[in-house]
Chain A
Amino acid sequence: KRWKVETNSSLDSVLLLSSINLPGGELRRRSVEDELAMRDYLQEGDLISAEVQSVFSDGAASLHTRSLKYGKLGQGVLVQVSPSLVKRQKTHFHDLTCGASVILSNNGFIWIYPTPGQKDEESGGFTTDLEPVPLSDREVISRLRNCIVALVTHMLMLFDTSILYCYEASLPHQIKDILKPEVMEEIVLETQQRLLDLEG
Chain B
Amino acid sequence: EDLRVDGRGCEDYRCAEVETDIVSNTSGSARVKLGYTDILVGVKAEMGTPKLEKPDEGYLEFFVDCSANATPEFEGRGGEELGTDIANTLYRVFSSESSVDLKSLCINPREHCWVLYVDVLLLECGGNLFDAVSIAVKAALFNTRIPKVRVLEDEEGSKEIELSDDPYDCIRLNVDDVPCIVTLSKIGYRHVVDATPQEEACTLASLLISVTSKGTLTSMKKVGKGSLDPESIFEMMETGKRVGKALHVALQKILDEEESLGTSRQKVGFLG
Contact = CB atoms under 8 A, between A and B. Distances in A.
B6 interface: yes
B7 interface: yes
Most B Cβ at <10 Å: residue of A135, A145, A176, A178:
A176
Place the interface of chain B in its size category: 10 to 19
B15 A178 contact: no
A55 B9 CA distance: 44
B61 interface: no
Contacts of A149: 6
Interface in B193-245: none
B7 A142 contact: yes
Interface in B13-39: 14-15
B159 interface: no
Contacts of A57: none
A176 B8 contact: yes
A77 B5 contact: yes
Contact of A174 (B5, B7, B14): B7
A101 interface: no
A118 B157 CA distance: 93
A181 interface: yes
A143 B7 CA distance: 7
B3 interface: yes
A77 B12 CA distance: 20
A187 to B, nearest CB: 13
Contact of B15 (A138, A142, A179): A179
A78 to B, nearest CB: 8
Nearest to A182: B15
A146 interface: yes
Contacts of B14: 179
A149 B7 CA distance: 12
A176 B5 contact: no
Contacts of B12: 176
B2 to A, nearest CB: 9
Contacts of A138: 1, 3
A146 B6 contact: yes
A35 interface: no
A174 B8 CA distance: 9
Interface string A132-152: 000100110011011001000
A184 to B, nearest CB: 10
B5 to A, nearest CB: 6
Interface in A121-174: 135, 138-139, 142-143, 145-146, 149, 174
A138 B9 CA distance: 13
Contacts of B8: 176
A175 interface: yes
A180 B12 CA distance: 13
Interface of A: 77, 135, 138-139, 142-143, 145-146, 149, 174-176, 178-181
Given A135-B3, A174-B7, A175-B6, 18 more contacts: A77-B5, A135-B1, A138-B3, A139-B3, A142-B3, A142-B4, A142-B5, A142-B7, A143-B7, A146-B7, A149-B6, A175-B3, A176-B6, A176-B7, A176-B8, A176-B12, A179-B6, A179-B14
Question: 5 nearest interchain CB pairs?
Answer: A175-B7, A176-B7, A142-B7, A176-B8, A135-B1
5 contacts: A138-B3, A142-B4, A143-B7, A176-B9, A179-B6
